[in-house]
Amino acid sequence: MRAVEIRELHFSYGSEVLKGVNLEVERGEVFGLLGPNGAGKSTLILHLNGILKPRKGTVQVFGLNPVKKPREVRKLVGIVFQDPNDQLFSPTVFEDVAFGPYNLGLRGEELEERVVGALRAVGMENYAKREVRELSFGEKKRVAIATVLAMEPELLVFDEPFANLDFRGKAMVRKIIESLRGEKTVILASHEAEYLALCDRIALMDGGRVIKVGPPEEVLEPGLLREHNLDVPPMVELFHALGLGVPRNLEEAKALIDKLLSAQTNSLRR
Ligand SMILES: Nc1ncnc2c1ncn2[C@@H]1O[C@H](COP(=O)(O)OP(=O)(O)OP(=O)(O)O)[C@@H](O)[C@H]1O
Ligand SMILES: [Mg+2]
């Protein structure tokens, strides 16, 4: 059974914004949703736990219909919304992060450990007693991520998780995603291609449609990105020009360059 299976999904808020989306996400995948502003990424994501209902077509998450089984699906799927103000509603940081696991039945020390662990993962362990409304936007974003981590869902969906985070915040989110790889299913939505190079596969969306699905080296192609009004990350531009594919991270980039250099040295020796 797949983590997500979407068939011919249509949705309209008045005018149609999803125009027949087909998408499959395998269990254990780190899957990217890439697309310019207004492509329909957030709208698609809100179908994964039944917040929005398809006008036409079907959505299945771990074989369940989120509209028909919202309680079951919401235990399996945790969505970090694009705007943390849509996620946080308790007076204090601790209460907000504890809300989900409390509803799952956790109490006492077990609950406390879950909350502290999730806050530590986003570097907010010293903020537990703070009032949510006093936090900066970036701090709220980290707490919003912690609320979802604390529930330990099978599928974690991050809508623009890197937006508004500083260098350390972005590194922490990358580390969280790497720690989930292989254990959980992860969906990452962003209009910035550079954050999606770490994905196993990426779907490029534009105008309410999926334009292309494939591994980063196929989808993060400079011409295609420009055509869809997306920034071309310098690293993608450079590696594409060198014919080296798309490195997932700096280590992979170094390994690719080493390979290129040794191939050139060998051909000079001949
Ligand atoms: N609540 C709403 N009511 C009416 N129209 C909406 C609503 N939410 C989104 N839209 C419209 O639906 C389209 C898709 O929006 P959506 O937020 O899904 O795009 P997105 O790909 O997430 O964009 P972004 O990169 O800006 O987050 C946009 O044209 C937007 O104006
Ligand atoms: Mg969005």
Cα 102 to middle of ligand 2, angstroms: 29
Calpha distance 177→114 (Å, rounded): 18
What is the best residue among 12, 19, 43 to mutate for testing ligand 1's pocket, by most ligand atoms within 8 Å of CB? 43
Are 169 and 136 in contact by the 8 Å Cβ rule? The answer is: no
Residues 169-212 have pLDDT tens digits of 899 999 999 999 989 999 999 999 999 999 999 999 999 999 99
Cα–Cα distance, 20 to 23 (Å, whole number)? 10
Q: Categorize the per-residue pLDDT at 253 as very low, low, confident or very high, splitting at 50, 70 and 90.
A: confident
Mean pLDDT for 159-176 is 92
Closest residue by Cα to atom 16, ligand 1, is 40
Q: Give residue 40 CA to ligand 1 midpoint distance, Å.
A: 6
Helix 93-103 and helix 137-149: axis angle, to 10°?
A: 20
**Of 174, 179, 218, whose CA–CA distance to 195 is shortest?**
174
What is the per-residue pLDDT for 250? 83
Mean pLDDT, range 211-238, rounded to an integer: 95
Distance from the alpha carbon of residue 268 to the mean position of ligand 2, in angstroms? 50
Work out the average pLDDT over 125-153: 96
Say whether 49 sits in a helix, a strand or coil: coil
For residue 140, report the distance from its CA to the centre of ligand 2, in Å.
17
**pLDDT-based confidence at 17, cuts 50/70/90?**
very high
Q: How confident is the model at residue 246 (pLDDT cuts 50, 70, 90)?
A: confident
The mean pLDDT value for 124-146 works out to 95
Residue type, 174: R
**pLDDT score for 53:** 97
211 lines ligand 1 (CB under 6 A): no
Ligand nearest to the CA of 34: 1
pLDDT digits (tens, 9 = 90+) for 37-86: 999 999 999 999 999 999 999 999 999 999 999 999 999 999 999 999 99
Give distance in angstroms: CA of 164 to centre of ligand 2.
Answer: 14
- Specify the pLDDT at position 256: 86
What integer best gives the mean pLDDT of the chain? 95
Of 122-126, 154-158, 210-214, 237-241, least confident by mean pLDDT is: 237-241
In 30-58, which positions are buried (b, 16+ CB within 10 angstroms) versus exposed (e)?
bbbbbbbeebbbbbbbbbbbbebebeebe
Closest CA to 93 of 157, 139, 153, 138: 139
Best mutation site among 10, 11, 13, 83 for ligand 1, i.e. most ligand atoms within 8 A of its Cβ? 13
* Whether the CB of 208 sits within 6 Å of ligand 1: no
Q: Are 76 and 154 in contact (CB under 8 A)?
A: yes
- 265 — pLDDT class (breaks 50, 70, 90): confident
CB 180 within 8 A of CB 187: no
> Does ligand 1 come within 6 angstroms of the Cβ of 15?
no
Which atom of ligand 1 is least distant from the CA of 189?
22
Task: Identify the pLDDT of residue 216.
Answer: 95
Alpha helices by DSSP H, listed for the chain, are 41-45, 70-76, 93-103, 108-121, 137-149, 167-180, 216-219, 222-227, 234-241, 250-269
Full set of structural domains in the chain with CATH: 4-219 (3.40.50.300), 233-270 (no CATH)
Average pLDDT over every residue of 135-157: 96
